[in-house]
């Protein structure tokens, strides 16, 4: 067979034949020596009897030697037969081995301990068609691969690089070695050492696998490109959505400001009207108008808060503070509401320190509390805290109508309210309070839990991490308290660019017997101030004035003209912490539109010291 080298094989029967031949030659030499001795004995003795006796002995010896020779010949024949059978079997096995090697789909090559080619199959030779005729048994491996490299049978890497890498792999025999042939085929080489120090190699054509991998990579690259394109589109859509959200927030903020201006004026007019004596029918109408305006105010405030949260315009200011800074003001603020509705409200104090945003956490608890007061009729509401793990759970308990289990998730969606017999008129709410709670809690990372049993009540809770540092509690908002006629004679300068708001504020303040002068801009206010016999007791200014003027700056001008720090209140629809900090730095208090008359009255009383 082409490309196949055979060896001389040494078998035991041949050794036995050689031994028998040596023994036969030895017997012949012995026989010759014996004959010579007999002849010499006959020469010396010459007697007939001696010759006869010698002949008999010689015959006996010859017979013995002859028998031994016959036995040796029989053994030789047996050995020849065994040798022939062994040779026939070896030829058969060698033929079958060659046929098996030729029948495999992989290339096969065997090298001896000196790295010379012993045998290979046609498949192996087919990988190197340009040099196949020169690959013969006995060729050294390094000469073979040098011949392959020189013939350009491998396309990549360059021949010198491939030759170096191939010899390095031949030395280590670690892993597989890949060859990309010049005809485009890919060959994978697996090599192992034999017991006698030789190397056997199996060469597998993996062209189909490599092409499939290439197609898969191309497909993956196409999918990746499509995903990147889709991701770019999604990013663009997200950017557009964010921009739309921001625009929506700005629009709602601007619309809220524009809506709050007439709403603020309306509330002021209604409050001024309520202070006047009215027939019973008119008084009921005034109360209904006040309730309707309050509902509009709550809705606008909630919508503005949700738009800011959705647009990411609210940034938490996390710090450590004691919970009493939240619970005590809420207890005071809602005591009158609970008493009016016949509800027993109990706020259990706590000295725990938590880590959160004080303003946003207060909003969560406040919404829980107002929600409980809305749905409880003549029952009980309890606010308290529990320690749990590394946190504090603030709980609001009520014995109201409760919430069905399938409605608990629904109540945290926008404009979703439970229809119960106790939620009539204004008490129905807007369905936005818990939606705001859900957004704020997710932003702060505070878990919200709800437990409820229809007919027995509910427990709304928020879990807050414990804090380690204490700080001074923020002063609570001044509580509204009756101050009838105590503001009489107070001199007030009102600065607002909206005539309706100015008229409403004048009507309200004059109803409290205050002396009021009004201006729509800073220059007009300075002119009024110069004509007054003495500076006013109090300044009330809108934050946003015409032509980009700001109330805090105009207050500073008026104070400078008077030569002293006049008490001042800034009225605005902007509820951002930045504005509050700006007003505080300017030494002004802030009231949000629409202004609540009772709150305004309490603030004025505190500022003028009556």
Domain ranges of the chain: 58-103, 317-418+430-464, 491-608
Other Cβ atoms within 10 Å of 222 Cβ, number: 10
Predicted confidence (pLDDT) per residue in 473-517, tens digit: 444 444 444 444 578 888 999 999 888 788 888 888 888 888 999
Instruction: Examine the pLDDT at 416 and tell me if it is beyond 60.
Output: no
Instruction: Examine the pLDDT at 20 and tell me if it is beyond 60.
Output: yes
Predicted confidence (pLDDT) per residue in 264-287, tens digit: 666 666 666 666 666 776 666 666
Predicted confidence (pLDDT) per residue in 320-379, tens digit: 999 888 888 888 878 878 888 888 999 998 888 999 988 888 888 988 888 888 888 778
3-state secondary structure of 280: helix
Per-residue confidence (pLDDT) for residue 299, from 0 to 100 = 55
Higher pLDDT, 48 or 438: 438
Strand partners, 516: 492
Per-residue confidence (pLDDT) for residue 203, from 0 to 100 = 93
Instruction: Examine the pLDDT at 410 and tell me if it is beyond 60.
Output: yes
Q: How far apart are CA 346 and CA 311, in angstroms?
A: 36
Least confident residue range of 553-557, 585-589, 599-603 = 599-603
Per-residue confidence (pLDDT) for residue 246, from 0 to 100 = 64
Provide, rounded to the nearest whole percent, the portion of the chain with pLDDT above 70.
Answer: 77
Q: How far apart are CA 610 and CA 601, in angstroms?
A: 11
Per-residue confidence (pLDDT) for residue 139, from 0 to 100 = 93
Cβ burial of 508 (10 Å; 0-12, 13-18, 19+) is: buried
485: left (phi over 0), alpha (psi -120 to 50) or beta: left
- Residues 433-461 as b or e (16 or more Cβ within 10 Å = b): bbbbbbbbbeebebebebebeeeebbbbb
Per-residue confidence (pLDDT) for residue 10, from 0 to 100 = 43
Instruction: Examine the pLDDT at 260 and tell me if it is beyond 70.
Output: no
pTM: 0.42
Q: How far apart are CA 89 and CA 95, in angstroms?
A: 10
Q: How far apart are CA 536 and CA 520, in angstroms?
A: 16
Higher pLDDT, 416 or 235: 235
Per-residue confidence (pLDDT) for residue 414, from 0 to 100 = 56
- CB–CB of 518/496 below 8 Å? yes
Instruction: Examine the pLDDT at 298 and tell me if it is beyond 70.
Output: no
Long-range CB contacts for residues 125-128, cutoff 8 Å, separation at least 24:
125/2, 125/3, 127/153, 127/179, 127/181, 127/185, 127/187, 127/203, 128/153
Other Cβ atoms within 10 Å of 304 Cβ, number: 21
Token output for 43: 């020469």
Model confidence at 111, pLDDT cuts 50, 70, 90, reads: very high
Count of H helices and E strands in the chain? Answer: 15, 18
Per-residue confidence (pLDDT) for residue 116, from 0 to 100 = 94
Q: How far apart are CA 418 and CA 401, in angstroms?
A: 10
Helices 358-375 and 324-340, packing angle to 10 deg: 20
Instruction: Examine the pLDDT at 44 and tell me if it is beyond 70.
Output: no
Helices 207-275 and 597-608, packing angle to 10 deg: 70
Q: How many CA atoms lie within 13 A of 595 on its CB side?
A: 30
Higher pLDDT, 557 or 94: 557
Q: What is the arithmetic mean of pLDDT over 71-99?
A: 79
**The domain made up of 491-608 is a member of CATH 3.30.2010.10:** no
Cβ contacts of 229 within 8 Å, gap of 6 or more: none
Give which of 557, 586, 558 is closest to 572, Cα–Cα: 586
What does the chain come to in residues? 610
Q: How far apart are CA 164 and CA 563, in angstroms?
A: 94
Per-residue confidence (pLDDT) for residue 482, from 0 to 100 = 44
- CB–CB of 319/471 below 8 Å? yes
Give which of 174, 175, 197, 178 is closest to 187, Cα–Cα: 178
Higher pLDDT, 34 or 6: 34
Per-residue confidence (pLDDT) for residue 76, from 0 to 100 = 81
- CB–CB of 71/91 below 8 Å? no
Least confident residue range of 159-163, 374-378, 396-400 = 374-378
Which phi and psi angles does 402 have, rounded to 5°? Answer: 80, 175
Report the range out of 93-102, 124-133, 241-250, 485-494 with the highest average pLDDT.
124-133
Q: How far apart are CA 77 and CA 53, in angstroms?
A: 36
Average pLDDT score over the chain = 79
Per-residue confidence (pLDDT) for residue 43, from 0 to 100 = 56
Predicted confidence (pLDDT) per residue in 214-227, tens digit: 888 888 888 888 88
3-state secondary structure of 239: helix
Per-residue confidence (pLDDT) for residue 80, from 0 to 100 = 82
Q: How far apart are CA 427 and CA 370, in angstroms?
A: 10
- The radius of gyration computed from the CA coordinates of the chain, to the nearest angstrom, equals 56
Instruction: Examine the pLDDT at 540 and tell me if it is beyond 90.
Output: yes
For 25-89, give the DSSP string. Answer: HHHHHHHHHHHHHHHHHHHHH--HHHHHHHHHHHHHHHHHHHHHHHHHHHHHHHHHHHHHHHHHH
Walk across the sheet containing 515-519 and list its strands: 515-519, 491-495, 538-542, 568-572, 589-592
Provide, rounded to the nearest whole percent, the portion of the chain with pLDDT above 90.
Answer: 17
- CB–CB of 522/560 below 8 Å? no
Q: What is the CATH number of domain 317-418+430-464?
A: 3.30.565.10
């Amino acid at each position: 067979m082409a490309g196949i080298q055979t060896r001389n094989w040494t078998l035991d029967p041949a050794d036995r034949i050689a031994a028998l031949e040596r023994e036969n030659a030895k017997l012949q030499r012995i026989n010759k020596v014996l004959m010579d001795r007999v002849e010499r004995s006959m020469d010396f003795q010459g007697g007939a009897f001696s010759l006869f006796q010698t002949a008999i002995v010689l015959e006996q010896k010859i017979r013995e030697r002859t028998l031994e020779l016959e036995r040796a010949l029989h053994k030789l024949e047996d050995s020849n037969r065994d040798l022939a059978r062994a040779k026939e079997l070896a030829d058969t096995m060698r033929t079958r081995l060659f046929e098996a090697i030729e029948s495999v789909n992989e290339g096969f090559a065997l090298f001896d301990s000196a790295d010379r080619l012993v045998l290979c199959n046609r498949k192996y030779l087919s990988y190197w068609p340009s040099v196949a005729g020169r690959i013969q048994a006995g060729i050294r491996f390094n000469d073979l691969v040098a011949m392959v490299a020189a013939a350009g049978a491998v396309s990549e890497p360059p021949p010198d690089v491939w030759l170096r890498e191939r010899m390095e792999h031949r030395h280590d025999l670690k892993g597989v070695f890949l060859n990309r042939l010049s005809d485009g085929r890919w060959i994978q080489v697996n090599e192992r050492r034999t017991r006698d120090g030789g190397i056997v190699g199996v060469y597998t054509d993996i062209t189909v696998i490599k092409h499939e991998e290439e197609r898969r990579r191309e497909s993956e690259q196409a999918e990746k490109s499509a995903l990147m394109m889709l991701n770019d589109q999604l990013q663009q859509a997200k950017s557009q959505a964010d921009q739309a959200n921001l625009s929506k927030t700005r629009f709602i903020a601007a619309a809220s400001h524009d809506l709050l201006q007439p709403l603020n004026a309306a509330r002021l007019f209604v409050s001024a009207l309520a202070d006047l004596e009215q027939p019973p029918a008119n008084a009921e109408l005034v109360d209904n108008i006040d309730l309707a305006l309050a509902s509009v105010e709550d809705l606008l405030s909630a919508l503005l808060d949700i738009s800011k949260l959705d647009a990411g315009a609210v940034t938490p200011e996390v710090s450590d503070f004691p919970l009493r800074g939240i619970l005590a003001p809420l207890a005071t603020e809602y005591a009158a509401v609970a008493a009016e509705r016949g509800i027993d409200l109990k706020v259990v104090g706590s000295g725990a320190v938590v880590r959160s945003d004080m303003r946003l956490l207060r909003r969560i608890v406040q919404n829980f509390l107002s929600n409980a007061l809305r749905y409880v009729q003549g029952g009980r509401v309890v606010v308290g805290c529990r320690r749990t793990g590394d946190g504090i759970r603030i709980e609001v308990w009520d014995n109201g109508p409760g919430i069905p289990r399938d409605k608990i998730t629904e109540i945290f969606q926008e404009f979703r309210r439970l229809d119960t017999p106790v939620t009539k008129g204004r008490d129905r709410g807007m369905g936005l309070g818990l939606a705001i709670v859900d957004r704020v809690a997710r932003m702060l990372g505070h878990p919200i839990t709800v437990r409820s049993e229809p007919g027995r009540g509910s427990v709304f809770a928020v879990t807050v991490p414990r804090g380690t540092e204490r700080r001074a509690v923020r002063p609570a908002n001044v509580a509204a308290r009756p101050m009838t006629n105590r503001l009489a004679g107070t001199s007030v300068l009102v600065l607002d660019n909206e005539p309706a708001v100015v008229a409403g504020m004048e009507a309200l303040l004059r109803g409290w017997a205050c002396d009021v002068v009004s201006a729509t801009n800073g220059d007009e206010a300075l002119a009024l101030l110069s004509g007054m016999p003495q500076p006013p007791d109090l300044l009330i200014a809108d934050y946003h004035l015409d032509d980009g003027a700001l109330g805090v700056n105009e207050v500073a001008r008026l104070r400078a003209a008077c030569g002293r720090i006049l008490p001042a209140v800034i009225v605005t629809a902007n509820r951002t912490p930045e504005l509050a900090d700006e007003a505080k730095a300017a030494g002004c208090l802030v009231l949000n539109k629409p202004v609540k008359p009772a709150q305004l009255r309490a603030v004025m009383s505190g500022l003028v010291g009556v």
